[in-house]
A and B are shown apart, each in its own frame.
Chain A
Amino acid sequence: MQEIKSYLAPRSLDEAVKAMAAGDVTVFCGGTDLTPQTDSGAKRYGATLMNIRRIEGLSGIAEAGDSIRIGAATTVTEVRRDPLIARAAPILAEAAEHFASDQIRNAASLGGNICNASPAGDMINPLLVLDAAVELASWADGALRTRSVPLENFFTGPRRHVKRPDELLTAIVFRKPATDFVGWFRKSGPRPALEISTVSVGIGGNLSDGVFRNVRVAMGSVAPTPLRAHGVEAALEGRPLDADSIRAAVAAADADATPIDDVRASAWYRKHLVKVFTEEVLNHVLGN
């Protein structure tokens, strides 16, 4: 039987990462993934349970130069309601809108959704489209160290990522999209409310004079990690958005997605849906 030996609720980042450097810490923020996972035995608590909600500066959404910085403890509800996000990155607000239920949105944090590293993580998909990076903080040699990792390189497998156990994810940062940026997010599940994505598709890029550039496409629940669909991106990059390029993008979506059969859907249906959503989103951009 596993016992939590101590509970910490640090006020400062230094305090938090020092504790993490010292050893076996389970980070608690919203608890919406952690609680069911520890209850079911899928995950074990470390000796120290550390609540990071009180750490100063760990939540909130702010402009920093030409970037937007979202603190890791920011809740999905805060993302959903934030005027800056609504203006500058509506694809993120759209994903927050379809994220679980009100109760879960109120508790779940953006950082937690990323660290949970589920291929179905609904906030990860639009952040990949926005080419976000995550900030990781740790304590080494008597000082606070931080590093930045592009979100695309963050995930290494289902529930696995490059963050070391002594590192705390502190923020998500992405460049404010240009005015000609367009982005859409689409997910699906067997019921409209409170749903884990069967698949999700996010597509974004700069669209001017009918040509799509800097295209980034993300897919959820079709691979061991949240996926950047480079094949679809290549099919669209620098080309006029028309019936031909859409057809090519749909074919590439079929190739990029490597889903499995599980309790939520078969591989066939997931492949079918990514094609449907890729076509739907692109047709929507075209105004069809």
Chain B
Amino acid sequence: MDQKVTAPTIEKKTLIGQRVKKPDAPDKAIGKTRYINDMVLPQMLIGKVLFAGRPHARIVSIDTAAAERLPGVHAVLTGKDAAGLRFGFVRDNAALKDKVRCEHDEIAAVAAESEEIARQAIGLIEVVYEDLPGVFTPEDGAREDAPQIHDNFPGNKSLYFEFSHGEVAAAEADSDFVVDNVFRPHHVTHCCMGTSCAIADFDHNGKLTIWTQTQYPYNYKMDLAPALGLQPGDIRVIQPPVGGAFGSKLDVYPYEPIAALLAKRTGRPVKVIYSREEEFKASPTRQPAIIHMRTGCTRDGTLTFRTADVLLDNGAYTSWGPTIPVIMMRTVSGHYRVPVVDFKAQAIYTNNPYAGSFRGYGNVQTTWATAQQMDMLADMVDMEPLAFHLKNSQVSGEITPQKSFLRECVLVECLETAAGASDYSRKRKEYAAARAEPGRYKKGIGLASSIHNAGGAKIHKSDGIGTILKVDDYARVTVITGASEIGQGIDAVITLIVAEELGVPLEHVLIVNNDSDIAPWDVGVHASRTTFIAGNGTRRAARKAKAQILAAAEKMLGEPADTLELRGGSVVRDACGTPLIKLDRLLRQMHFQAEPELVMVTDYYEPKSEPEGAKHVSDHSAAYSHAVHVAEITVDTLTGEITVDKITMAQDVGRVINRMGLEAQIEGGLAIGLGYALSENMLLDRGLLKNPCFRDYKLLTAPEMPPLDLHFIESDCAEGPYGAKGISELPTIVIAPAIANALYNATGVRVFDPPMSPEKVARAIDAQRQAAGG
């Protein structure tokens, strides 16, 4: 024991800001990961859904006799099997419908021995419909004589939101310039690589286990229960690896209760999995909107007011889509310093597909409008555009009209960094001057920014997370956490934080976060919150474990705990790094001593934010963040093609935690934003989707990703873990209007309804030429 071995000292090294690989990456790269889509359970049946294929109709009759007779079919369910089991935010949805309200309405479902038999059975179900006149725009839906979509929602009125601050009339009278436009952000969808899938199974006590892609396993139980007539406590949610979510799995969608109803009827596990075409038609979309926005400023470039009158195409049912005004109004009231604000948003039921949540939730749509109007006003006032932005930028300590408290605000630094690195001001002037010169190809540069919640968003009663952390006899750490991994990289962040705090190798950290019966509560993956909330929860739990370990070390080694540190798998003297005992050995000694102890800690972290509240006046996030994007583009003025040559981005990330994960999230977010801006579009013709395939729904591909110049501004958020803020939505939010502003800089035309497809740009340029008489 007293052998003198001089162990080398262990230097203090931090992992914060380093590049750490995602623990799930190697298996995904080599194809070893078993996604939910791959899962097969013994005795499992395949469930298949009969979709209406028409937008609005009365169901006259359904004949399932032939389907039921088909060998291999175990159950055929229709609307009567889901009668009274309504679910959704306003209880307007059901797993199987009694009336058709949109193309993908689920009319019947089959469970069979195989996919082929299930498909065949679906073909044998005979439904007689009586088509009804439809409603395909919110304007039409709001008309007095419009067909009614839900009996209990008169006037087709769904959710309504408003926020008002100050006197608009007076502010407008004080304004020297006012811009007034109508923006029409469109329908796009998430395009997860893994299509929607759920497997349901009941045990003999009537308890449901559902394997699902959900990104909010705890509230999911509450939301799924009424669709099945179960108690939330009787539902166990297991989350196998998923092929993407991006907000699309933040609600219960009918295929999930359908799987459960079929499982209940048959007494066997049932899997429902969508084909790509079904995925396009039946999975949620981004919320489209018609935004009438007005913004004013004085001659010296001071913003005076902003109003937004928003009409939302609710679609047939109410999911997260029509709740986006909660975030839209934060942008209307908080994107730059706006003293007077008036915001109204009405959602109107239509016979179109319905929207869920989607990365950038409401802010993609709003920033499309606010950031273009900032660019327009910049041209109207006699100021350098950058100076105009800077003049209206908030600084640390400011509070917006909705009471968002901008504790650490680095919008000015973001603007200066992105504009400086891209030489924005000079190029903008030069390209605008070159607009009238001859030449087919025109260069443009555009700047846009936005604000987003970066410390969760307390739209539920709690925005917290539970964490259980144990360290075993071999110094292996298990973190049991509510934070779901949906590909965004939280496992890497948790691993990094545990390794940072407990001085163990990254590979010695195991995360359990896929079973609602095991892991403690969390709101879910949304609102750019998981690194912030789960990062804090993990750090707090790790620090409790560390305190327990160092207290034991103090007893054993006779050195004060506050002079000790955990590094490189050992307890060391903090000051000099001299190792005193291996951590695993210490842990075993703690365990096997006279008064044995195990290291098992729990933590519940609730961020310091205020509930959203009915009036929407509250500091609803524990942090807020800004990003500035500068897009440089080349426009082919004949074909209308936009080539993005470069994106320069500066974003307040608080503090870089996992640099590799951060870069990947920014790049992925930009890819979604670029597709939204340039090519993605769900083409709806009277409620029917015309392009339910990747051939005609244009996702951008790798060759279209432009060079990126990313600048991470570290504002050191007091409430964030190590100073970090949430980061994942801003890259999707800001890029589209940056390109729109660059398009204007290049050509003098604006497109108000994305995507800025070649045809739309060519038409706008052609119209401009016609107007100019050439």
Contacts and interface: CB of A to CB of B under 8 A. Distances in A.
A190 B757 CA distance: 6
Contacts of B757: 190
B700 A269 contact: no
B638 A190 contact: no
A196 B766 CA distance: 24
Contacts of A194: 701
Nearest to B638: A276
Interface size class of A (residues with CB under 8 A): 20 to 34
Given A191-B678, A191-B701, A193-B704, A272 B696 contact: no
Contacts of A188: 639, 641, 758
Nearest to A262: B690
A201 to B, nearest CB: 12
Contacts of B701: 101, 191, 193-194
Contacts, number: 53
Interface in A230-288: 263-266, 268-269, 272-273, 276, 280
B639 A1 contact: no
A192 interface: yes
A191 B759 contact: no
A263 B692 CA distance: 11
A191 B679 contact: yes
B703 interface: yes
A40 B277 contact: yes
Contacts of B277: 40
Interface residues of B, number: 28
Q: Which of B695, B701, B703, B759 has the most CB of A within 10 A?
A: B759
B124 to A, nearest CB: 10
Interface in B645-692: 678-679, 683, 690-691
A165 interface: no
Contact of B120 (A1, A196, A198): A1
Residue of A188, A194, A196, A273 ringed by the most chain B CB atoms within 10 A: A194
Given A269-B759, A273-B639, A193 B703 contact: yes
Given A40-B277, A192-B703, A193-B703, A276 B759 contact: no
Nearest to A188: B639
A41 to B, nearest CB: 10
Contacts of B691: 263
Contact of A36 (B695, B702, B759, B762): B695
Contacts of A266: 759
Nearest to B700: A191
Contacts of B560: none
Contacts of B693: 36, 40
A150 to B, nearest CB: 30
Interface string B252-291: 0000000000000000000000000100000000000000
A268 B767 CA distance: 13
Contacts of B702: 193
B763 interface: yes
B698 interface: yes
B701 to A, nearest CB: 5
Nearest to A1: B120
A44 to B, nearest CB: 14
B116 interface: yes
Top 5 nearest A-B pairs (CB, nearest first) are A269-B759, A276-B638, A193-B703, A193-B701, A263-B690
8 contacts: A40-B693, A190-B758, A191-B698, A193-B703, A193-B704, A263-B683, A269-B763, A272-B762
Given A190-B758, A269-B762, 9 more contacts: A190-B757, A191-B678, A192-B704, A193-B702, A196-B695, A263-B691, A266-B759, A269-B758, A269-B763
Interface of B: 116, 119-120, 123, 277, 638-639, 641, 678-679, 683, 690-691, 693, 695-696, 698, 700-704, 757-759, 762-763, 766
Interface of A: 1, 36, 40, 101, 188, 190-194, 196, 198, 263-266, 268-269, 272-273, 276, 280
